[in-house]
Structure 1
Amino acid sequence: MALEVERKFPDANLDDLRRRLAEAGALCHGAHFESNTVFYARDGCLVAGGRLLRLRSQEWATRFRHVLTLKLPAAVPAGAGQYKVREEREVEVSDASAMKHILEGLGYSAVARYEKVREPWVLDGVEVELDILPFMEGAELEGEPEAIEAVQRRLGLDKTAMSTKNYHQLHQEWLQRNNLPARRSFVFSEAQREAWRQQLGLGEENDVPPVSR
């Protein structure tokens, strides 16, 4: 169990951030392709309780990682009023497809899927994620509030618009701005996905639960 404290920067310049991170001596863990499937209980209890159940698959050129995560509402600690704060419980699983079938057998349904290319860095104890999604690019800082503030200034993000919204909420706003119908999922087109996989040096596409709503 861990407390997730984060801020997003939807308008961040990723090239500039990457340069500043390298100059600051930050550690890069390598970009990877990420597929996420969100599950809801049929009785709606997860949504009503402000909880999120997610199965994530991460793919690098040399390895895979699958993680089941439950996010729960959490009390906001002092000084974290301008952050998104959630309690996070997660466990690594060896087989994403088998885990999907287990969840379905327990009464959960896959209701949304989203993809991104994520490039994780670590600077002064703060996780800095450079994210490319089908509808936007942005950055996310996660760590202790005081450390996030310091890294934010160090990377020149103190004058960049920040948000405590999740990517689903940002996607809904993007759809509204572009007069597009509401939908839960946001995934790359086949051509975009193939291009990213080639750029990341990935092999055959991993088996990911197909959801498109």
Structure 2
Amino acid sequence: MSLEIELKVRVDDHDVVRHRLVALGAEPLGAVLEFNRLFDTRDGALARAGVGLRVRTHLPQPVDQAVTPVGGSFPPASASGAAKVTVKGPQRPGPFKVRPEEEFDVTDGDAVARAFALLGYETTIAFEKRRESWRLDDCRIELDTLPLLGLFVEVEGPSEQVVSEVRRRLGLDAHPHVQASYVSLLDEACRDRGLDTHVFFQPPESSSHAEG
């Protein structure tokens, strides 16, 4: 079982971080539009146990919405429609997000969602996210854009010390660490606005996502 060690900060502009990544010689890994579905029992048993169950699908991203790095073009990050199932364990106490994690690829995310439904797991929140990925030394840096929430940078690495050093090199020390997950932030934003917890960049009626 792998261990997820990451920190997340909110930013006003990805361009500043992108220029810094290029200056540091970071490797651009790709940009995708994600469709994330979180599952739980009707009574929230997984959430109470601190466990997360997610199906993530990479979707085709319109050319006019794609982001290209300074001085070049991104390679394709993944084949469109590729899906990944992730199970996360309880988060450990501390300033960083540290959780046990298991992930595996599947060929049909909708089929997995239907299987989860048969097992008693419902979709509790579904959301799109634009993600631009970079590699710097031993860390993976994600430039994320989410509806309702805005812009974030995530740094994931092999240890808290390494992650902290990359954060410093990116000039993000002055940005407060966001400990809450995107799921928690979106759930709160939806409740505050009286919205459904299915959050897209386009209205749901124009989306082709199937809930299965």
Q: Do the two structures share a fold, i.e. TM-score over 0.5?
A: yes
Contact in 2 for aligned 1:6/1:164 (Cα 8 Å): no
Matched residue SS, 1:99: helix
Contact in 1 for aligned 2:6/2:154 (Cα 8 Å): yes
What does 1:1-213 align with in structure 2 at a 5 Å threshold? 1-59=1-59, 63-64=79-80, 65-76=82-93, 81-135=94-148, 136-143=150-157, 144-174=159-189, 180-181=193-194, 183-190=196-203, 208-210=209-211
RMSD of the TM alignment (CA)? 2.5
What amino acid is the match of 1:155? L
Q: Which position in structure 2 is the counterpart of 1:201?
A: none
Q: Deviations over 1:74-119 (max 9, x none)?
A: 545xxxx211111111110011121111111212111210111100
Query: What is the deviation of 1:170?
Result: 2.5
TM-score (norm 2): 0.81
Stretches of structure 2 that go unaligned for 5 or more consecutive residues are 61-75
Alignment CA distance shift 1:190-1:175 (3 Å): closer
Alignment CA distance shift 1:162-1:75 (3 Å): closer
Matched residue SS, 2:21: helix
Q: Which position in structure 2 is the counterpart of 1:197?
A: none
Stretches of structure 1 that go unaligned for 5 or more consecutive residues are 195-204
Query: What is the deviation of 1:49?
Result: 0.8
Distance between the aligned counterparts of 1:54 and 1:63, measured in 2?
19
Q: Percent identity?
A: 34
Q: Deviations over 1:152-189 (max 9, x none)?
A: 1111001112211111232355457xx52264332212
Distance between the aligned counterparts of 1:28 and 1:22, measured in 2?
9
Alignment CA distance shift 1:100-1:172 (3 Å): closer
TM-score (norm 1): 0.81
Q: How many residues are matched? A: 193
